[in-house]
Amino acid sequence: MQDIETLKHLVDYGVITLLIVMSFVAVYFFIERVIFYRKIVVNSYKTKKALDVALTKHLTIIGTIASNAPYIGLLGTVLAIMLTFMTMGSGDIDAAKIMESLALALKATAVGLVVAIVAMVLYNILSRSAEVLESEYEATEV
């Protein structure tokens, strides 16, 4: 029974910690890009491709976090539900404890969804800002 509790805490806190780290990474790169976008001089780039590469740096990381956070949260939920079933199989759990364990298992999915939503919003803001800066570059080319 002690091994199951240790495994439960490892799964629960490991997944939540990973999701929190992912959210900090997304916010860090968002702030870095916002600062870069405010300081950039689009006319200093010789080609639009060079500007595009500079503008989209780190956007893939934020997009990857946005698309994978729900899956990591879901993985945590599935693992926590499996642990609940293992505990139920040992016969040492009542109905109230089962419901509590299942409710707590869902928090990993909830955290994953929150991280994904925030990261997607940040990604969309940065993508739009990059498009505007590229349009400014194109306007000065003429």
Domain count, the chain: 1
> Around Cβ 60, how many Cβ atoms within 10 Å?
11
Model pLDDT for residues 33-68, shown as the tens digit of each residue: 999 999 999 989 999 999 999 999 999 999 999 999
What residues make up the domain containing 23? Answer: 2-141
pTM: 0.85
Q: Which band of pLDDT confidence, cut at 50, 70 and 90, is reported for residue 92?
A: low
| Distance separating alpha carbons of residues 9 and 2, to the nearest angstrom | 11
pLDDT at 87: 78
Task: Looking at mean pLDDT, say which of 4-8, 49-53, 80-84, 101-105 comes out highest.
Answer: 49-53
- DSSP readout, 73-111? HHHHHHHHHHHHHHHHHTT---HHHHHHHHHHHHHHHHH
Average pLDDT over residues 81-110: 81
